[in-house]
Amino acid sequence: MVLKFIKEIVFLFMTVLGTLGNIFVSVNYMISLLGGPEKKPIHLILIHLGFANIIILLAKGLPKTIAAFGLRNFLDDIGCKILIYLSRMSRGLSICTSSLLTVVQAIIISPRASGWRRLRPKSSWHILPFFSFFWILNSLISVNLIHSITSTSLNISQLENGDNYCYFSLESQKTKWLVLPLMVLRDAVFQGAMGGASGYMVSLLHKHHQQVLYLQKAKLLYRTPPELRAAQSVLLLMLCFVFFYWTDCAFSLFLSLSLENNSLLVNIQKILALGYATFSPLVLIHRDELLPECWHAQWEKLRKCLSRVAAQ
């Protein structure tokens, strides 16, 4: 009974905290994007990442919270298909967007003489085609769920997936070997790009650190450029992603190979699946100092900008 109560509180806490955090971060960067003099592509990517995380928390965290409180059969067949489909698709969106964020940030901080500098997006709106590609890609990869997911209220004699509100029908075993390689290929490609861009940023930040040490020994004042501070935030965000993604994969693999149904490990795996969507906005709030007073200053700049546009 105590463990059940703890599970209910944890799911509720993570869903509420993560949703509010992603909304706060998205609104903050939206204000910076609209009210600032320079339209930064990174801000648009972070807004999209926050939106994907909100879908994850609402489509996966909220039903898990309701199920943890003991309410079963609260979804009909259509509702079950929609939620599981959105959950799978938004997870893919989060992976693709995180990879794009790392690659674009690596290009932004690359030296002027580097060939990568020519790939730097000149406008934040040049990022939009990538978002369209991500939505189409992940929508197609997740489309098999429309046929293989149904509500437990229709037939509870089938194999349930442990969420207590939906189950995967046995017929889906035929199509999973077509969809699973596509998911693995997607994750491998985008995480490979993320890893390469992260390694490149680490090398650039290391060179910058050596330069700072030299200037400090020479007693010269040197301030870290905003692009490098943003790169440090992105790297910390990617470490958060790697930790939750691979820990979730390890637990999922262990549970799939285990002959016993360990409810504790199942609940830990469910918590890990929500970890990145919950804690990534906290990383950005801490690193980028997105405090209420900073948000108020951004709002004032946006209000003045809108006032000038209205006056014209």
pLDDT at residue 292 in the model: 53
pLDDT at residue 74 in the model: 62
pLDDT at residue 157 in the model: 43
pLDDT less than 50: residues of the chain: 155-163, 293
* pTM of the model as a whole: 0.83
pLDDT at residue 94 in the model: 95
pLDDT at residue 254 in the model: 86
Q: How far apart are CA 205 and CA 269, in angstroms?
A: 34
pLDDT at residue 52 in the model: 95
Placement of tokens 């690359």 in the chain: 110
Architecture of domain 2-196+225-311: Up-down Bundle (1.20)
What is the H or E stretch that residue 2 is in?
helix 2-35
pLDDT at residue 45 in the model: 93
Shortest CA distance to 296 belongs to which of 23, 39, 24? 24
- Contact at 8 Å (CB) between 240 and 283? yes
- Contact at 8 Å (CB) between 196 and 105? no
Both tokens of 276, joined, read 């990145």
pLDDT at residue 244 in the model: 93
**What are 69-108's pLDDT values in tens digits?**
666 666 677 777 888 888 889 999 999 999 999 999 998 8
**What are 219-235's pLDDT values in tens digits?**
555 566 677 778 888 89
Shortest CA distance to 230 belongs to which of 279, 191, 283? 283
Q: From residue 79, how far is each of 61, 104, 186, 194 by CA, in Å?
A: 15, 36, 27, 34
Q: How far apart are CA 259 and CA 191, in angstroms?
A: 31
Q: From residue 60, how far is each of 88, 175, 279, 290 by CA, in Å?
A: 9, 23, 15, 26
pLDDT at residue 159 in the model: 41
pLDDT at residue 126 in the model: 84
Q: From residue 93, how far is each of 142, 169, 200 by CA, in Å?
A: 11, 25, 23
Catalogue the E-assigned strands of 106-246.
149-151, 166-168
Shortest CA distance to 97 belongs to which of 148, 45, 132? 45
Placement of tokens 């020519």 in the chain: 118
- Contact at 8 Å (CB) between 141 and 126? no
Q: How far apart are CA 224 and CA 234, in angstroms?
A: 15
pLDDT at residue 156 in the model: 46
pLDDT at residue 33 in the model: 77
Q: 138 CB contacts (<8 Å, ≥6 apart)?
A: 88, 89, 90, 92, 93, 96, 186
Can you give the residue ranges of every domain in the chain?
A: 2-196+225-311
